[in-house]
Every structure is written in structure tokens, then in C-alpha cells.
Structure 1
Amino acid sequence: MLGIAFALTALFMFVEFAGGLLARSLALFADAGHMLTDAAALALAWAAVRIAARPADAKRSFGYQRLRVLATFVNGCALLFIVTWISFEAIERLLNPVPVNASVILWIGSIGLAVNLIVFTMLSRGHAHDDMNVSAAALHVLGDLLGSAAAIVAALVILWTGWLPIDPLLSLLVCALIVKSAVSLVRRSAHILMEGSPEWLDQVELRRTLEQRIPAIRDVHHVHTWSVGPHETLLTMHALVSVSADQAVVLKDTKALLAERFGITHATIQIEVEDCVDKDCEQPPLKRDRTARG
């Protein structure tokens, strides 16, 4: 899927760049620039998917899943860079309009729209929403699809009215439409690379659930959660249990509850009977919450 999408995108990128030179159209140049980053994004996403499938080894005990997140971050940054460049070029064109060949823009923009629709449909059917890496590549293609549509509209307006500013104005509109999603992808991937806690996970609720559902657990602390890749969440924690508790049963029940309630299947749990063996074991947020409820 990603390989075919890359081939189609790279092939038409050269056609559109040549058309931009011939027609002197910023909309086509913008679209060609998008397609260049699209091709790179698709190639990177394709490589990341293949490499991420490799099994863990002695040097990388968690495997290569993080590579997909890194590919997302790089693709998001590249998209923001190209959007910034196109915006500056569009402002320059608004201040100093340049004649363009609207007929060439119309034909190439129409072909580009068809190619991008095919590629975007392929990526959407590949469940892009479930994979941050593929989502980043799909966003590149969506931006290019909008760019092709903008080129078509610009060509029609110029043919009918001769109004040249429509070309850079629509380029700015395309940039505005995709920048928010690009920032979101960069932010989400950077959060994972910084080993931040998954955004969907409420640690206060997690601790409260364990303490309420497993009677032997007196306190949960030192909770740390992070993601290796887009989907797998890892957890480490300390659980203070009563002296009479069967530690093996507590461990088994805790892991089962984490998997059932929070979808966490990779957890390292330290069982403690007396006091926490490390410093700074208290986690005030849950303490304050209990006081408020009391």
C-alpha cells in the first residue's frame, strides 16, 4: 500500500514541477513541493513500517516500534517547513503578481487531483487513523489533494476573470487548512518521544481503581507510564500490600485488572509489604483527591 502510494506520488511530482515551471504558477509549485514531501513522507512511513516489524534483539529489547513515532515527527516537521515556505512565497506573489498559464494549471491540477484521490483512498483504507505514522503520510497527501483542488480553482478564476492574486491566495488557504493537523502530529509524536504519559490515561483513576478493586493493596505509588510505539503502553509501579496478602495472587490480579480496565499488558510491579524502599514515594494528587471525597 505505502510502496504503491510512494511510486504514484513520486512520478506525478516531476510532472507537476515541470508544469509549474511552464505555467509559472505558485499553486502548481506549492503542489509540487507538497508532493515532494509527500513522496519523502510515504517512503519514510513505508520504511518505518517494515523496520518496526523486526523482532526485539539484545540491543533493542523493545524492538523498533519507536521508529514509527520518529517517522511521524520528521514528517510533521517537514510538512510545517514546506507550509512556511509556501506561505512566504504566496505573500511575495500577492505583493508582486506574476502572469501564469491558466490552461496548463487546469490540466495538471486535474490530473494531480485524481492521483492524490487515489493515494489518499489507499491510505484511508489502510486504517490511517489507527497508525500515527500512516496518519502523518496521509496528512501530507491530503494537503497535496487540497493543493490540486486549489490549483484547479485558481486556473478557472484566472481563465474567467484574469484575477492573478487568486493563485497565491488559495495557496495560503491550503496552508491554513493543514497546519493545525501538522502541529498536532508533531506535538503527539514529540510527547511519545519524550516518554510522556499517554494522553488517554488518567493515573489518578488508575491508582484509585487498583486500590479499590484489589483489597490486599493498601497503596499504589511510583507509577510511571509511557508508550514505546503508537499503541503499546508500558507501566511500572509500586504496590504496598498487607502482611497477610498472597503476593503472587496480588501480582496476578493486578496485571489482569490493568489489562482488562486500561489495556496495559506490559507492566512491571514491585510488591512492598512494609514501607516503600525508595525515596519520594508519596504522590500527592491522589492523597488530595481522597481528602476532597472524604
Structure 2
Amino acid sequence: MRIQPHQQQPTIDRQKHHRALWWALGLNFTFMLVEFFGGLITGSMALLSDAGHMLTDVGAIGLALFASWLALRPKDPRRTYGYLRAEILGGLANGTTLILLCGYILVEAIRRTGHPQPIPGGPVLAIATVGLAVNLGSALIIGRGHRTNLNLEGAYLHMLSDALGSIGAMVAGGVILVTGWTPVDTIVSVLIAVLILRGGWHLLMKAIDILMESTPPEIDYHQVLEALKSREHIVDLHDLHIWSISSGVLALSAHIQLSDECVKTGHWPQCLRETQNMLREQWGIEHTTLQTEPPFFQERYD
């Protein structure tokens, strides 16, 4: 039997979030092109790798916009959860692209180690400094709502990580300008590639975990199991499953065996409601499916 509360989440001003994301997308896309062509003209791998990192931010912001748009689409008989998993598929593709991009940057950095090129430190430093301002500005724009919107939070974290990439490019440009030691550009590009690899791998694994319907990392499966078993009138529990429908959208299903007294006195609806309230309040699990079973049901029909 299924009892599902239909309480609405707090209303979110989607238009405001869309507007902030569009501003951040425009800023990052414009400066990504500036860094890319600046890297081609100056021959700076640090600028090119940072432009690649900014491309991941553009993708992250675009994904947040796309996911927000899809979230407005209603569910239907074929897609009973709506289009919530679209952002997970986008994350899977984005994570794969990040790792491939990281591989390219590392290969190119190794190739240039044997064939160093003169790099003007001044333009590199100037472009990277403006890039840092763009990253911090985008983080400020997105950060106004990232605590209440998961898509915004992901884009916000991308902005902060890319700010580190801009700082790296600034360091490379400054060192080259002062000392003329160009190998620092390769070193910085490798460090930025490691940042991209870490972010891409984390994103890829998170998407795979959700698609595999793994127990969310923020939830202790055994803790939930023991909490359910300790509930009054629940004498046994089996087939417990906890998974994520999408980022921050948790679901649970279980077979629970109720006491004979609970069933006979008609107390079982209240028992289910209280159990659902506990799951929602302690772990944020809104989608719960609890199949109730009378005493000895499993032994009788196994």
C-alpha cells in the first residue's frame, strides 16, 4: 500500500534564478573566448587550459538552465517522475567531457615541455586578472540563491573552482613577467588539469551512482534500517531500498510487517503517516512507498 504526502516544497522564484544564470552564462562564455584566443595568440598553455576550465563552467551553468527548464515540464504516464533525470544524464556527459579535456591538456603540456615557446607574461597576467574578476562576479551573481537551489549550487561551486584556475594563470604570468622562466606555464597548466580531473571524476561518479540507484552518500542505510525497525508496531522489515531520483530528490521503498494489534485496531494508517514524517524530517526523503504486511505474511506466501 502506498501513502504519499503531496506537500509542496517552498516556492522558488524561478525567473530570478534563470536571470542570474543567464548573466553568469554570458559573462563566462564571453571571457572563455577571450582567454581561448588570448592563449592562441600568446602561446600560453595556462590561458588555454583555463579557457578549457571555463568551458566546463559554461557547461555547468547551461546544464543548470536546462535542468530548470525541464523541471517546469509536467510528468506524464510515460515519465512518471517527470524529467528530473535529465540533469543526471547531462552530468554524465559533462563529467566525461571534463576528463577528456584534462587528458588533452596534459598531453599538450608534456609535448610543450620538449619544445618550449616564448610566452609574453604581461598579456597572460592581464587576461587572467580579468578572468578572476569574471569568475568571482559570476559566483556572486549565482551565490545569491545557491543555498536554496541545487542547480545553482553546482554552478556556484564551478565558479569558485575556476577562480582558482585564474589565480594559477595569474601566477604563471607574473613569474614569466618578472623572471622570464616560461616552464612555470606548463607547471600551472598541469595543476589546472588536475583540478579539472578531480571535478570531472567527482561529477562522473556522482552521476553513475544516481543512475545505478545507489544509496545516497549523505544517508546511512543501516541507520535508517534501525530507525524503522525501532518504530512502535513495526515488528519486521525487509526489501529496504533508498535511492535518488535526481540530485536532492530522495526516494525509499520497503516492506514492513505490522503488529497484529496495530492491524486489528485500525491504527496502521497513523503508523504509516508517523513513519513517513520521520523519514522526511530526519533524512529529507519525500517519496516513500511502504508496503504493509500482516503478521506471518512472508512465511505464508514465500
Shorter-normalised TM-score: what interval? 0.7 to 0.9
- Which residue does the alignment assign to 1:256? 277
- Which residue does the alignment assign to 1:239? 256
Q: Take 1:84 and 1:3, find their aligned partners in 2: how far apart are those partners? A: 29
- 1:71 paired with 2:71, answer no
- Which residue does the alignment assign to 2:171? 153
Q: Greater RCO between the two (CA within 8 Å, min separation 6)?
A: 2
In the alignment, is the contact (CA less than 8 A) between 2:146 and 2:156 conserved in 1? no
- Which residue does the alignment assign to 1:202? 220
**2:37 match: secondary structure:** helix
- Range with bigger deviation, 18-27 or 36-45: 36-45
Shift of 1:23: 0.9
In the alignment, is the contact (CA less than 8 A) between 1:75 and 1:137 conserved in 2? no
Pairs within 5 Å for 1:4-153: 4-127=23-146, 131=150, 133-153=151-171
Q: Take 1:176 and 1:280, find their aligned partners in 2: how far apart are those partners? A: 55
Q: Take 1:184 and 1:25, find their aligned partners in 2: how far apart are those partners? A: 28
Q: Take 2:252 and 2:58, find their aligned partners in 1: how far apart are those partners? A: 36
Q: Take 1:39 and 1:265, find their aligned partners in 2: how far apart are those partners? A: 32
Q: Take 1:136 and 1:88, find their aligned partners in 2: how far apart are those partners? A: 28
**1:239 match: secondary structure:** strand
In the alignment, is the contact (CA less than 8 A) between 1:128 and 1:138 conserved in 2? no
Q: TM-score, normalised by structure 1?
A: 0.85
Q: Aligned AA for 1:264? A: I
**2:215 match: secondary structure:** coil
- Which residue does the alignment assign to 1:273? 294
Q: TM-score, normalised by structure 2?
A: 0.83
Shift of 1:40: 2.7
Q: Take 1:128 and 1:158, find their aligned partners in 2: how far apart are those partners? A: 39
Q: Could you tell me which of 217, 225, 230 is aligned with 2:247? A: 230
In the alignment, is the contact (CA less than 8 A) between 1:239 and 1:272 conserved in 2? yes
User: Deviation string for 1:14-52 (max 9, x for gaps)?
Assistant: 222221122111111112222233223322221112212
Question: Does the C-alpha gap of structure 1 residues 266 and 99 become closer, same or farther in structure 2, counting only changes over 3 Å?
Answer: same
**1:264 match: secondary structure:** coil
Q: Could you tell me which of 145, 149, 164 is aligned with 2:182? A: 164
In the alignment, is the contact (CA less than 8 A) between 1:139 and 1:181 conserved in 2? no
In the alignment, is the contact (CA less than 8 A) between 1:52 and 1:64 conserved in 2? yes
Question: Does the C-alpha gap of structure 1 residues 252 and 136 become closer, same or farther in structure 2, counting only changes over 3 Å?
Answer: closer
Question: Does the C-alpha gap of structure 1 residues 22 and 66 become closer, same or farther in structure 2, counting only changes over 3 Å?
Answer: same
Count of residue pairs the alignment pairs up: 279
**1:99 match: secondary structure:** coil
- 1:185 paired with 2:203, answer yes
Shift of 1:141: 3.2
Q: Aligned AA for 2:62? A: A
- Range with bigger deviation, 219-228 or 171-180: 171-180
Unpaired runs of at least 5, structure 2: 1-19
Give runs of ≥4 in structure 1 deviating > 4 Å.
276-281
Shift of 1:6: 0.8
User: Deviation string for 1:33-89 (max 9, x for gaps)?
Assistant: 222332233222211122123232222111222222333333233222222211221
Shift of 1:276: 4.3
